Chain A
């Protein structure tokens, strides 16, 4: 009865019911995403403990695999589902108080559906089902980026939509080629028979699939939409897009590369691509004046680092990549949410308007600082444990090429530290502009309902940093889940 499929179906049902609930009470609508995400969080944590030893396979309609669509709720899937639920819950509580204009009911419906799509992607074991949930994610994010209806929002949503639509069509061609060659759509089944076909068609399908899913994952040449979209969206949506949507895109790419294909030669290509993405992201972020654009470029950089860690393809490497996914998701959400309250207060998104925030909005500035330090990788926070795992993975490798590459990656970290320290200095050491403090020298803090979720996520960052064992006991099995093709096939198809 308690089955991972409820993680997808319950939020879906609640989203369908929202227009009906609105007739009963308008205020109730804001609580529905909170309810859905709280349910998801509890259920995924409960199932995660069960799934560490053996993934839970769910057959829909009780047809035999591989003829049915099956969900594979392994440690990796449930870990990511829990992360989605946690960040989704925080941002939903934040949005209850900050999204006031426009048709708020429509915002909440789209928001739940975006998270449902993301949860569906990480849990499914069928290739076309992956595509359908991926489209749910993409289309709701196109609509949410355009939610505010201003010039910048509509323009970036249009560009995002055009690039995303081309990417999805290319991915669909790849799926068609795979179906034509294998006659099946179940990922475990394709993985089992991958070596029995001529390699050229496989290569073409792989290229199309990586390009298609890579548009959403913001891999190097395909990320032209990201700075515009993430900076023009409303702040809670920027947090979700940077924290969850790109990670789920990377999960799709990783699942295809590791479980479906499992080819050694692709890994080096992925690592180099990750490095290029990292450098371009960090360098562009350095010269930005708009705080949200800076955070968007920093997301591109971190995605590059995650790809690089995936390219190392050892258990420690993939564990490091997953750790980075968790820590960046938490840190970037905290950053975007705290920046959101600051922008609402000052009305401007320029970095220069953040002067003296340390005095005007002390709690928000503190959370921003902690998020920034965790992103750079400073010790008592979870970002440090994540980056340390990646570096350790590189040194476990014997190839000197990787040692050189990690040097280049750490250069990216230095650039990151440079621009974040510059901002933190502005927060605390520059005097606030005239008239923004009252008589007692205090500013106006953000409303409590916005502060609580930021605070909780910040506390998770600190706790996970001090006690990394909280996450790492789940990360190692998750990494093996991704890497070990034979085990995956055995669990799904039953030996």
Chain B
């Protein structure tokens, strides 16, 4: 009975969405660029592509959208990850604990050596990705995820090494505060939250694009430490 109802619901959703897709244009043609005052309808994408480099100074337009134009969304997203890590810790807090690795075979020598060799390299790559977030594809979230995967490698491959929870929690809080404080400084200095108060600099250089690299580095620390804490908790660490 439940399967039948589910299939009917699915069929309804399929027809509805399928027919509605006819109205969403796919692969629009790039029209001539006109400045906003003369156009009938606003199109975000074209505005950001054409004006983004001058206004924010970052050559990666997606970064300038994520951190510059829609910075409040990014703050919300960082908060969501924080809630997930905190909620996970709260839910698993009182769970009955089995001793870690009691029924697991320890990693073999090859894996152990490989992990110790790879760990700093992966960290270096992740750092490269998030520091150059405003110049090349990548950024805080991507770099933070790579750093967290290095932590995952440690938990899986290095025999019994665990992450230091206190340090992770400290890093998490401090980087979140850096983001909020950077926005508030913008509010005090210029009257708008997340205002770009550092000089734009010349494009293509590492030290350019105002506060975008600073915020992205803070986000990378936060994401890396949070995902590391989540992985650590889920793999059954005590306490």
Closest to B47 in A: A67
B72:A1 contact, CB within 8 angstroms: no
Interface stretch of the complex, out of A174-182, A225-233, A304-312, A394-402: A174-182
Give the residue of B41, B69, B95, B193 whose beta carbon is less than 8 angstroms from that of A193: B41
B9-34 interface bits toward A, Cβ cutoff 8 Å, 1 = contact, 0 = none: 00000001101101111000000000
| Cβ of B187 under 8 Å from chain A | yes
Interface of B is mostly: helix
| Cβ of B75 under 8 Å from chain A | yes
Interface stretch of the complex, out of A27-35, A79-87, A132-140, A282-290: A132-140
Interface size class for chain A? 35 or more
Which residues of chain B from 61 to 94 have a CB within 8 Å of any chain A CB? 68-73, 75-77, 79-80, 82-84, 86-91, 93-94
A128 vs B55: C-alpha distance when bound (angstroms): 22
| Cβ of A19 under 8 Å from chain B | yes
Residues of A within 8 A of B188 (CB): 1
Q: Do A136 and B68 form a contact, CB below 8 Å, given A16-B180, A149-B91?
A: no
Q: B232 → chain A, closest Cβ, in Å?
A: 15
A129 vs B87: C-alpha distance when bound (angstroms): 22
Number of interface residues of B (CB under 8 A): 60
Residues of B within 8 A of A109 (CB): 86
| Cβ of B176 under 8 Å from chain A | yes
Interface stretch of the complex, out of A55-63, A265-273, A372-380, A424-432: A55-63
B70:A69 contact, CB within 8 angstroms: yes
Q: B185 → chain A, closest Cβ, in Å?
A: 12
A17 vs B76: C-alpha distance when bound (angstroms): 16
A18 vs B173: C-alpha distance when bound (angstroms): 8
B43-59 interface bits toward A, Cβ cutoff 8 Å, 1 = contact, 0 = none: 11101100000010000
Q: B210 → chain A, closest Cβ, in Å?
A: 10
A103:B89 contact, CB within 8 angstroms: yes
| Cβ of B124 under 8 Å from chain A | no
A103 vs B43: C-alpha distance when bound (angstroms): 47
Residue of B19, B48, B82 with most chain A CB atoms under a 10 A cut-off: B82
B interface residue numbers (CB < 8 A to A): 16-17, 19-20, 22-25, 41-45, 47-48, 55, 68-73, 75-77, 79-80, 82-84, 86-91, 93-95, 169-170, 172-174, 176-177, 180-181, 183-184, 186-188, 190-196
